[in-house]
A and B are shown apart, each in its own frame.
Chain A
Amino acid sequence: DIDGVGQKYHLELVLEDLLDKDSTVNCTAEVLYHLGNNIPPDVQFTIEGELKNAEEADNIFYNRIKSLEKELVAENIPDSHGNVSPEMEPVHLLAWVASGYVIWQNSTENTKFQLAQIKHVKQVKRSDEYLEFDYTILLHEMVSQEIIPWQMTVLWHPQHGVQVTQ
């Protein structure tokens, strides 16, 4: 508890690779929730070791999308039964990353958000090297149990990373 500022939490956590459960990385972080909850929490972190290199998979996905004749469009990922087709798996993962940013920007000490589903995703063709996707996602907020639709525009490039505009 920091008087006049907010609440600071010191965390020790383990990051687990979604696609390889045996691959873990230790992480320490500090999260500062500001008084009033009007601004996103400050986050600082250090990772012990290296995150797995996904360059090959990134480039395969990048090239596949870049070479599509028609813009990618999809709905309900996962579907009602929890299915995600192999082609949509990277689109799902990208949404996961981008929603992490949205969740961070909207979190308080009294919220717990998860990405529930991608309702709709549409690729927006660009003349530059970035891939752009317009997502409508559903966020599940655990405390209120509400399902919150959210619009996000996501830019991605294998070497330049992810950018989210809400």
Chain B
Amino acid sequence: ILLLHTCVKCVSLPEKVKIVEVGPRDGLQNEKTMVPTETKINLIDMLSASGLPVIEATSFVSPKWVPQMADQVEVMKGIDRKPGVSYPVLTPNLKGFQAAIKAGASEVAIFGAASELFSKKNINCSVDESLQRFDEVMKAAKEFGVPVRGYVSCVLGCPYEGKVAPEKVAHVAKRLYSMGCYEISLGDTIGVGTPGSMSKMLEAVSREVPVNALAVHCHDTYGQALANILVALQMGISVVDSSVAGLGGCPYAQGASGNVATEDVVYMLHGLGIQTGVDLSKLMDAGAFICRTLNRKTNSKVAQATCKL
């Protein structure tokens, strides 16, 4: 039985994993250095060439709040869209949605928090209220036939509330799914999760939302991201969010890392024999490019290692 048990681990992994590259939006949004439009476009084009199937391009949020994303329209219009690749954009409200459509967006994303306190502190309203605000976006998206991705933040812990109940995460995920989101990305926003809390949370959520509509968005602030992703894969998840070069620090822990590095995720997946469609060396080129421009070291260990095999 022990032999069978150990075989379960290798049997239950997906054959293919879809990587959702969030570097140009989630990553750059959390970088202090302002990046010129041309650089952003270049980065996205390099990422498109690496084989990534989904690249979060920009955010149609007010430049007053997120100056880094002020050039949203130019970026959207300037990138070379590779056929077969999706370029979702964040749309915090109807106005943002309309601007996004006008700029040529064909996929959008909305978000909700699994923590009431986090919701209050960030957007000054309760979780339910925030989801209601997205009703109009969902309606408009349906009219235009635009798919919508839902993000849930603080799924494994909140900087203000501490522990977050898995049932609460399931509740928010279920709401987003029933509103019409085709995929729900579960975010460990402050990176505190471990394989223990990840599996408990996924157990609760997968009772409400089909597992093939779920994705994980792990932060590597405590070094747990890859271990958490592995557990998620073992539970049937086959969509993983990550950021080239691990762009985007943690806004709650100054100087600490945030997003998990796409290079490190791809390295692990390929090592597991899982297909991603991504060319790791082209991806590393993109990472090297953006780090040079930002004048910072990469957060990817694969990129850092110079070991020749």
Q: Do they bind each other? A: no
